[in-house]
């Protein structure tokens, strides 16, 4: 979706981000992993809301 060099730099940094504990040792792989997953879906342009079909 991004064609500007800054956009690609940002995308590369998100893609290569490491999920690591915070400085205080807190780490929640479930919540942090979901945020990471949703951010990648959003950046890919494939994040869609699927609504029920009307009968």
Q: Is 10 helix (H, G, I), strand (E, B) or coil?
A: helix
Q: State the burial class of residue 44 (Cβ atoms within 10 Å of its Cβ: 0-12, 13-18, 19+).
A: exposed
Q: What is the DSSP letter of 17?
A: -
CA 20 → CA 7, 30, 31, 50, 53, distances in Å? Answer: 24, 12, 12, 32, 40
Quick one: pLDDT at residue 2?
Answer: 61
Please state, in angstroms and rounded to a whole number, the distance separating the CA atoms of residues 46 and 55.
26
Can you give the pLDDT of all 55 residues of the chain as single tens digits?
567 777 778 777 777 877 778 888 887 778 777 878 888 887 777 777 788 888 7
pLDDT of 1:
57
Q: Which two tokens stand for residue 39?
A: 């951010």
């Amino acid at each position: 979706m991004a064609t500007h060099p800054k956009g690609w730099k940002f995308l590369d940094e998100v893609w290569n981000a490491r999920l690591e504990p915070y400085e205080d040792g807190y780490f929640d792989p479930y919540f942090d992993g979901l945020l990471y997953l949703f951010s990648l879906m959003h950046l890919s342009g494939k994040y869609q809301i699927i609504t029920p079909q009307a009968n």
